[in-house]
Amino acid sequence: MQKFSIPLPRVGNLPSGATDSITDIGAVTVGQFTLADGPLQTGVTVIKAHNESHWLHKVPAAATIFNGYGKSVGLMQVQELGVMETPVALTNTFSVSAVAHGQIEQAIIDHPSIGKEWTSVNPLVFECSDAHLNQMQALAVKPEHYRLALAATNKQFDQGAVGAGRGMSCYGLKGGVGSASRQARGELGYSVGALVLSNFGKPHQIQVPGYSGIAQRISAYLENKKSQRGQHTGPERGSIIIVLATDAPLDSRQLRRLSMRAVAGLARTGSMIGHGSGDIALAFSTAYTIPHHADEAMPTQGMLHEQKLDGLFEAAAEATEQAIWSSLWRAQTVWGRDDNVRFGIQEVLASIV
Amino acid sequence: MQKFSIPLPRVGNLPSGATDSITDIGAVTVGQFTLADGPLQTGVTVIKAHNESHWLHKVPAAATIFNGYGKSVGLMQVQELGVMETPVALTNTFSVSAVAHGQIEQAIIDHPSIGKEWTSVNPLVFECSDAHLNQMQALAVKPEHYRLALAATNKQFDQGAVGAGRGMSCYGLKGGVGSASRQARGELGYSVGALVLSNFGKPHQIQVPGYSGIAQRISAYLENKKSQRGQHTGPERGSIIIVLATDAPLDSRQLRRLSMRAVAGLARTGSMIGHGSGDIALAFSTAYTIPHHADEAMPTQGMLHEQKLDGLFEAAAEATEQAIWSSLWRAQTVWGRDDNVRFGIQEVLASIV
Amino acid sequence: MQKFSIPLPRVGNLPSGATDSITDIGAVTVGQFTLADGPLQTGVTVIKAHNESHWLHKVPAAATIFNGYGKSVGLMQVQELGVMETPVALTNTFSVSAVAHGQIEQAIIDHPSIGKEWTSVNPLVFECSDAHLNQMQALAVKPEHYRLALAATNKQFDQGAVGAGRGMSCYGLKGGVGSASRQARGELGYSVGALVLSNFGKPHQIQVPGYSGIAQRISAYLENKKSQRGQHTGPERGSIIIVLATDAPLDSRQLRRLSMRAVAGLARTGSMIGHGSGDIALAFSTAYTIPHHADEAMPTQGMLHEQKLDGLFEAAAEATEQAIWSSLWRAQTVWGRDDNVRFGIQEVLASIV
Amino acid sequence: MQKFSIPLPRVGNLPSGATDSITDIGAVTVGQFTLADGPLQTGVTVIKAHNESHWLHKVPAAATIFNGYGKSVGLMQVQELGVMETPVALTNTFSVSAVAHGQIEQAIIDHPSIGKEWTSVNPLVFECSDAHLNQMQALAVKPEHYRLALAATNKQFDQGAVGAGRGMSCYGLKGGVGSASRQARGELGYSVGALVLSNFGKPHQIQVPGYSGIAQRISAYLENKKSQRGQHTGPERGSIIIVLATDAPLDSRQLRRLSMRAVAGLARTGSMIGHGSGDIALAFSTAYTIPHHADEAMPTQGMLHEQKLDGLFEAAAEATEQAIWSSLWRAQTVWGRDDNVRFGIQEVLASIV
């Protein structure tokens, strides 16, 4: 387990799952491919909802777009049909096409009738721009990197400056991949896990719990660094992708409601959902699947009664906030293209606290 | 000016306008009618965008529905046409019809051709349920109460347990009407004002700035009061209506984006947007109007460039949060139907801090 | 059975149900109150999904708003929660408040805890403007008229210039209430019923099947009538409400998809969804209900597989188009306020064909 | 000019522009790349709104998703920001990634700061599945094919089985690219142009104007062809992309309203918006542009008054329907992969009429 010189904030009142990560939920696994090579600081992160073919056994899902300044693909069909039919992939903005291409190739490998006798497949790829650290124009992520990340899916996975999070920035500091989980309030026995790709915010906005007024000091610290001077003005250019998993039996309408609550966790870290930020939450359930083929039986699982959702909503808000803090606390300083740098928050806090 | 035994939290970094309320914006005025009579604890609050006929000079507007468990009327047409054509009215859930009726009557008085030679009018009425304190089934609000509130519109207005806020509850405490304003970051010269009708949340959720851990103590305090015992469990049944006004020239698409940012202020006070809560933000601009009649000239006012919105987004988030704290701090303890009571937060904090 | 001098067009390829109306579906019933008294030409139409309390046994439902220039109430909550908890009511634009008031009163009568110990109720009232024939400013519809319509619900009901349809206009002719049903293509055994309140369109737009070029002749006929001169220019001011019922087990997401298909039937009669028209389709299922109380069991009914929806989509489009023709063919000439008149299409066709 | 043995239906009442195609509107141009090589029958079609950089001079735009079973990319940002910043590209489902890649590469060539000092670019690529004729799994479309289509943009362009339309099927017949234009009713002086990629519908659904009952005869004709046997059952798997251009000054909210009206034209040809169909309409205006850089002046062009939209709505519905008929009439029989074939409607009608 990672040691923190400055303790990771522990937010909320609800208990965490065993690993305090999204893989606490059902059979969820995460895999990553990291590219860290001079001006290339980027990667791919993949989340699987279960261990079977997602195309044959579709996963109930829905999303909320808090701010649609983004280039993610696949959400239109998720919203129409209420399911996802591939794993969730995260990468940088200019690599969405390569990763979507990789998802199509993988689907054809798994099911040679796709796009021929059978219908096609809906790639589901989310992105944030890592242009500050990564030479994004190099289009360095290739379809095979998706397959490598997919092959690496596991219950255990790294957080911070890894996978799609390698080149991300958050509140002017180093952002990246973070995760957490919370058990729902009440007697439900269900949980919500969150995985975020954090890449949003300005230094003056961060609201670290227990460190009142820290935003001004972080801003001043960064402004005094020659490498950072003048970088943290101008409109927001970041993004955050939030993926929620739950083992509660929710239909897609309820999952959309759950995904909306991620914004509460996001806002509490200091975000006001900046103009240039693609802020999206996707939620899926591991409680049942929908068969692709019409001659297979539909699930008869009763859904959760609407009045029991509040406990899950609290868990979603807490898990999201915790995952963001985790992404920051676990991300170390990264130097990228053109001597650009983002400092890890621990290094910064150690200097100013 | 009201004196607080426990200081009203002052949140955010941006400067307030002269009155730190929504009437800092353009010609915006607010009027209220309060009914406080034993089991009847309710009322009406009206917001005018300007001093002319809203029907002849329509006001650019848009909304975001964070949670649609609510009975407000008029939003469908606002979303389609991008304008509001009446003042904004707030009241209790069962009185929406009476107030909408009042808006129609008023429109006919002002323009006798409405709904005859001319098209009809779109009432715009928002609501929260004050059923805990108010005998809502009495349907005590009448159409004429809308007219009384309208006639009372003024730059100065009361906050707290007044108007539509008379019977509202927030975080298990007394909620109601609150307002604030913030000047946008940057050189824009524009501001955002907020008026909220706060009626949401459970005691254990409140996150008062500077009072870490206060939620548990408030919860315990209320649970020890015989009058409150067992009241604060079960699913959320509240709501919040957030009205934002800005003098920035925004079109309806941009106003929708602005209205979304209210959720950041809401979440920071502790809300996770409960299941049973109708959580809605409406935003309007005072920078220009749209003529009703097609033979009048359309505005040639250039809209604000999209990249300049971040300053307004911060102002919207801060003003919303500030308005919620103001609604709580200015609301005094109210006893209502069946010996039900909601305590003012100052009274509670004075006992436990 | 009504005799038509000019045969009612029979559209589509699918078989109708026993009565070719919405009451072919499950336990659906329709009731109406008609006010036909000189300048007052209006009314209320009510559709019940089943014979139990809709509040205790909520009905899965969803809607599509083709054009949101309308004043209907209740859709926001239907979209959030995926259920309706009252019967569907139709009336004129200015009477929405009175009918919503009637729905609240009825809910309190049925369940005295509503809006007190229990949550409130979501009125669901749709409207079109009958201002041409009806003195809408008289606000003649009262809450008790809702109760009268509700008490009259039955498997048999009239169509044409009755109930909410009394004062409606369609393509410059007399519109009103129409209904039809279709059995889904394929081996499903499910059906879709439609009830429309038709109040849209200009004479030059109507596309009567089998009467090519009839629009120009109807336009000319009306223009020659002194009573109609100059009335059919200017922007669209009408509306159409389309209510679809199905006995197929669909969830709210699927019902939203079904409701979208109503637009195909609407467009084929000649509509291009005019600017000033509130064009809305609501769809509900009679296959199961959702309990209000959280301690009751949730349904375990498997939903219909997505790939089996096409048959229902065709039925929805055909039933909607048929219902519109039925509303026109069954509506007789009505004279209303200020010597205004709308002629029944049969009277007009008999003169020009 | 092409000769038709069976005349192309001429629908609607409004006059066409000079070429009866989308390039009648402002500076709009269309370019195509066609790949017709045995089992590869596919391509790319590109629509430019003007001759300048779309990234520097963004084009006001909006869309309506009639059915979201599709894999198009770029709509989320169009909906958030109300502009498109690349030309519109059309291709097959599995080639979206390649074409999006091509759009990114082109943007970097044109503006080397994109995705580095400047923000990134939002690819806008729509698709239909041509899997019946085209070996889609070959992923034969490459990024350079986008550039070839872009380089070929011109006021004159071919329709039918060309560009992205090469492998498309419509109502069981050969579909593809079609276009038309209509002048708005009234004294507006504005027009609407449509370009469709038609790839939807079953033979039994087609409603050819003036050929009542033709659907049954087409169905029977195809069923008698050995090459077609059993192909036209099962759920809808098609799609249609409809692109509307107008020279009227509309903002993005109004353009969304315009795009909705395309469904009226679509429905009149016989579509009921099948389950498996990605049915999307995008509308853009050529009347003004929005500068990318915040220091440039925003347009002061007054928008069209809302009450003047009906004329444009009629034009949108008519142009869409006409474009669909044009796509069918101009598409010749194409043989593709595995001896699959789609017959041109003229060949079929010549045999059965």
Give mean pLDDT, residues D16-35. 98
* pLDDT reading at D227 higher than 80: no
Residues 6+ apart with CB under 8 A from A117: none
What is the predicted pLDDT for the residue at C1? 53
What is the predicted pLDDT for the residue at A228? 75
Under 8 Å between Cβ of D232 and D203: yes
Q: How far is C96 from chain A (nearest CA, A)?
A: 28
Region of B297 (left: φ > 0; alpha: ψ -120 to 50; beta: rest) is beta
Residue ranges of A 27-66 with Cβ closer than 8 A to chain B:
66
* pLDDT reading at B233 higher than 80: no
Whether residue D313 and residue C272 make contact (CB cut-off 8 A), yes or no, is yes
In DSSP terms, B61 is beta-bridged to B284
Residues of chain C with confidence (pLDDT) below 70: 1-2
CB contact B111 to C (< 8 Å): no
Three-class secondary structure of residue B342 per DSSP: strand
Nearest to B71 among C81, C116, C122 (CB): C122
Residue for token digits 């950041």? B264
CB contact C252 to A (< 8 Å): yes
Under 8 Å between Cβ of C87 and B113: no
For an interface test with D, the pick among C272, C273, C280, C305 (most D C-beta atoms closer than 10 Å) comes out as: C272
Please, what is the average pLDDT of chain B?
95
Q: What are the tokens at A76?
A: 């239109």
Residues of D within 8 A of B77 (CB-CB) are none
Under 8 Å between Cβ of B68 and B60: no
What is the predicted pLDDT for the residue at B239? 95
Alpha helix ranges (H) inside chain B: 75-81, 96-110, 143-151, 214-224, 252-260, 262-268, 310-329, 345-352
Strands (E) across C200-256 are located at: 239-246
Q: What are the tokens at D271?
A: 């579509």
> By percentage, how much of chain D surpasses pLDDT 70?
99
pLDDT band at D1 (very low <50, low <70, confident <90, very high): low
* pLDDT reading at D312 higher than 70: yes
CB contact B3 to D (< 8 Å): no
Q: For residue B96, what is the nearest residue in chain C, using CA coordinates?
A: C97
Distance CA D282, CA D194 (A): 10
CB contact D68 to A (< 8 Å): yes
Q: How far is A235 from chain D (nearest CA, A)?
A: 10
What is the predicted pLDDT for the residue at A138? 96
Q: Which of A307, A238, A207 has its CA nearest to residue A66?
A: A238
* DSSP β-ladder status, B88-92 and B40-48: antiparallel
Distance CA C265, CA B130 (A): 43
Residues of A within 8 A of C290 (CB-CB) are 306
For an interface test with B, the pick among D251, D306, D309 (most B C-beta atoms closer than 10 Å) comes out as: D306
What is the predicted pLDDT for the residue at A106? 97
Under 8 Å between Cβ of B172 and B218: yes
Give mean pLDDT, residues B82-91. 98
**Maximum Cα–Cα distance across chain B:** 65
What is the predicted pLDDT for the residue at C235? 74
What is the predicted pLDDT for the residue at A324? 98
Rounded alpha-carbon distances, angstroms, from residue D51 to A121, A290, D100, D147, D163: 35, 47, 20, 15, 20
Nearest to A68 among D68, D71, D80 (CB): D80
Under 8 Å between Cβ of A110 and A116: no
Give mean pLDDT, residues A109-120. 93
- Give per-residue pLDDT as tens, B268-279: 999 999 999 999
Nearest to B252 among D253, D294, D308 (CB): D253
Distance CA D76, CA A68 (A): 5
* pLDDT reading at D349 higher than 90: yes
CB contact D275 to C (< 8 Å): yes
What is the predicted pLDDT for the residue at A276? 92
Question: In the B/C pair of chains, how many CB contacts fall below 8 A?
Answer: 118
Distance CA C349, CA C4 (A): 11
Type and span of the H or E element at D258: helix D252-260
What is the predicted pLDDT for the residue at B257? 98
Q: Which of D1, D349, D336, D325 has its CA nearest to residue D158?
A: D1
Q: Which of C248, D332, B21 has its CA nearest to residue A298?
A: C248
What is the predicted pLDDT for the residue at C2? 67
Give the Cα-Cα-Cα angle B222, B45, B16 (nearest 5 degrees): 80
What is the predicted pLDDT for the residue at A319? 98
* pLDDT reading at A4 higher than 90: no
Distance CA D81, CA D61 (A): 9
Nearest to A235 among B260, B307, B316 (CB): B307
- Give per-residue pLDDT as tens, A241-254: 999 999 999 999 99
In DSSP terms, A342 is beta-bridged to A334
Q: What are the tokens at B29?
A: 């005025």
Q: What are the tokens at B43?
A: 């009322």
Three-class secondary structure of residue B40 per DSSP: strand
Give mean pLDDT, residues D174-186. 96
Under 8 Å between Cβ of C137 and C184: no
* pLDDT reading at D208 higher than 80: yes
Is D21 considered catalytic here?
Answer: no
Whether residue D129 and residue A119 make contact (CB cut-off 8 A), yes or no, is yes
What is the predicted pLDDT for the residue at A1? 53
ipTM: 0.97
Residues 6+ apart with CB under 8 A from C125: C72, C73, C74, C89, C90, C91, C96, C99, C100, C103
Give mean pLDDT, residues B123-129. 98
Q: How far is D349 from chain A (nearest CA, A)?
A: 28
Residues of D within 8 A of B260 (CB-CB) are none
Single-letter residue type at A73: V
Please, what is the average pLDDT of chain D?
95
Distance CA B237, CA B102 (A): 27
Residues of A within 8 A of C298 (CB-CB) are 302-305
Question: In the C/D pair of chains, how many CB contacts fall below 8 A?
Answer: 87
Whether residue B298 and residue D304 make contact (CB cut-off 8 A), yes or no, is yes
Give mean pLDDT, residues B157-171. 98
Distance CA C100, CA C143 (A): 8
Q: What are the tokens at D266?
A: 């679509």
Q: Dihedral sign, CA of C214, C219, C220, C224?
A: positive
Residues of A within 8 A of B257 (CB-CB) are 67, 275
Whether residue D67 and residue C257 make contact (CB cut-off 8 A), yes or no, is yes
* pLDDT reading at B218 higher than 70: yes
- Give per-residue pLDDT as tens, C78-103: 999 999 999 999 999 999 999 999 99
What is the predicted pLDDT for the residue at B336? 97
Active site residues of B: 239, 277, 279
pLDDT band at D2 (very low <50, low <70, confident <90, very high): low
Whether residue D298 and residue B298 make contact (CB cut-off 8 A), yes or no, is no
Q: Which of A230, A195, A179, A199 has its CA nearest to residue A136?
A: A199
Distance CA A241, CA D221 (A): 52
Distance CA A55, CA D240 (A): 24
What is the predicted pLDDT for the residue at A23? 98
In DSSP terms, D31 is beta-bridged to D46
Q: What are the tokens at B273?
A: 């947007």
Distance CA B272, CA B344 (A): 22
* DSSP β-ladder status, C169-170 and C173-174: antiparallel
**Residue A336, Cβ density class (10 Å: 0-12 exposed, 13-18 middle, ≥19 buried):** buried
pTM: 0.98
D211 alpha-carbon distance from chain centroid: 25
